[in-house]
Amino acid sequence: KEGTKNIRKEMEKWLTPETLAVVKKAGELATKKNVKAYMIGGIVRDLLLNRPNEDIDVVIEGDAISFAIDFAKQIDGTVHQHESFRTATVETKEGISIDFTTSRTEYYEKPAALPTVLYSNIKEDLSRRDFTLNAIAASILPDTFGDVLDYFHGVEDIENKRLQVLHNLSFIEDPTRILRGIRFEARYSFRMSQETEALIENSLSSIASLSKERIQSELKIVFQETDPIWSMNRLNELGVLPYFLPHSAWNERTRATLQYYLEKERVTDAEDDFFYIICSLYVHDDKRLSQLKNILLTKKHRRVVQELMTLYKNSTSFHVKSAGAFHDMCHSYVDITLIMAVIAFMTGDKEQQRIGSLLRQYHIKRKNLQRFVTGEDLKKAGIPPGPLYKHIFFELEKAIIDEKVYDQSSAFHYIHEHLLQNSK
Ligand code: CTP
């Protein structure tokens, strides 16, 4: 009901005085133009949760674009229009920005060219959103400043730490909301209601219709924001893991692999990080790996998977005796392949761990490979230039990795003992 709660105090506490002043000015203009204006979405949610958030979204019951243009003029700011979304951002000279959106019935926009532009009232706008905690508005008009509009009991759900989907078709309309839900659960220590979980179960077939680009960009946000082990468990519990990551395996082994990655090898690059995380669920099985190859979006990571498949097969099928032995197969492999393979082997049985630590040694040594002999040195030593040089250098690399060669004199010793005799 209108007027039951007011968040003026929270606004004064969490918004900077400058931002608050701009919001108030927008409210004054709305009164002058005789339109209603509300703060909405994430900002209201976070104010109610007593958390900072400076992303101000304002919904106008009317034409937000013309409102924003007038407002920018009034405060001598700039306006940036996003015509197709009926949204405009106004930025003050001090760099404070506010997004203005026209209230609408369709959350998902039709192409701008369509003539049926439906303005709706705030209630209809709120009713198209994902969860009750995101469907709360607060008036910014001077008369009712801070008054909360809570048609869907979002405030009560927030108090009960309950994540409640707004309507039956919410996940069918947009299955990535399941992933948003998992993020909100983690971020606020909330829990989905039983009804919400049941509606997820009903929306499984819609997940299949999402593009892999969409799935991956949303999953990436989940893994960045939450503990990936926790979110994999949650995805698994909700029964949606095989829909978002087809053919993946979530079991003791893959969990250990992911954990090993997170604790010992985690990288900062978001794309690579995402790759390591999902690859952990595919890496132990050839068939899964080839499925992963079809899912991946970048050429670089598809190459890694191809290399992993070869590496995995070959190193388990013959007895690798030394780190240098990997060089024949892996000299052209990218670092990610070697790191991922180490992670995979280190969580296996004793024999796999043995292979894993040799591979790790190989990787470290390969990175810091110090060559003790140049072509010039070989020439001076009376070895005639030719294709033999390439062979010598490569074999020397292997010997250096295995620490059989550690300076120039041991290098020449090795060349004479092992390389020249063979080639004659
Ligand atoms: N929204 C939705 N369904 C989506 C994405 C967004 O209903 N798939 C709605 C929600 O009501 C949300 C609003 O659009 O409050 C804005 O979404 P977003 O920009 O993602 O912001 P936040 O909800 O604030 O999320 P975050 O805090 O992670 O930015």
Provide the 10 A C-beta neighbour count for residue 165. 24
Q: Which of 134, 166, 179, 187 to mutate to test the pocket of ligand 1 (most atoms within 8 A of CB)?
A: 134
Q: Are the CB atoms for 304 and 282 separated by under 8 Å? A: no
Q: Are the CB atoms for 80 and 100 separated by under 8 Å? A: no
DSSP β-ladder status, 162-163 and 191-192: parallel
Q: At what angle do helices 194-202 and 176-188 cross, to 10 degrees?
A: 160
* Residue 388 or residue 318, greater confidence: 388
Q: What is the distance between the alpha carbons of residues 103 and 117, in angstroms, rounded to a whole number? A: 11
Report all structural domains of the chain as residue ranges with CATH numbers, in order of start: 8-158 (3.30.460.10), 161-239 (1.10.110.30), 375-423 (no CATH)
The whole-number pLDDT of residue 116 equals 47
pTM for this structure?
A: 0.90
pLDDT of 114 over the 50 cut? no
Q: 143 CA to middle of ligand 1, Å? A: 28
Q: Which of 149, 152, 180, 223 to mutate to test the pocket of ligand 1 (most atoms within 8 A of CB)?
A: 180
- The pLDDT tens digits of the residues spanning 285-311 come to 999 999 999 999 999 999 999 999 999
pLDDT of 183 over the 70 cut? yes
313 pLDDT tier (thresholds 50, 70, 90):
confident
What mean pLDDT is reported for the chain?
Answer: 92
Q: 5 CA to middle of ligand 1, Å? A: 22
Pocket of ligand 1 (CB under 6 A): 41-42, 107, 129-130, 134, 174, 176-177, 180
Which residue's CA lies nearest to atom 12 of ligand 1?
A: 41
Which residue's CA lies nearest to atom 29 of ligand 1?
A: 42
Q: 74 CA to middle of ligand 1, Å? A: 29
Q: 56 CA to middle of ligand 1, Å? A: 12
Q: Are the CB atoms for 129 and 159 separated by under 8 Å? A: no
The whole-number pLDDT of residue 119 equals 62
Instruction: Tell me how far CA of residue 403 lies from CA of 60, 197, 397, 398, 416, in angstroms.
Output: 72, 58, 10, 9, 17
Q: What is the ipTM of this complex?
A: 0.97
DSSP β-ladder status, 37-40 and 56-60: antiparallel
Which residue's CA lies nearest to atom 16 of ligand 1?
A: 41
Q: What is the distance between the alpha carbons of residues 224 and 290, in angstroms, rounded to a whole number? A: 25
Mean pLDDT in residue range 9-27: 96
Q: What is the distance between the alpha carbons of residues 119 and 110, in angstroms, rounded to a whole number? A: 13
pLDDT of 378 over the 90 cut? yes
Which amino acid type is present at position 148? V
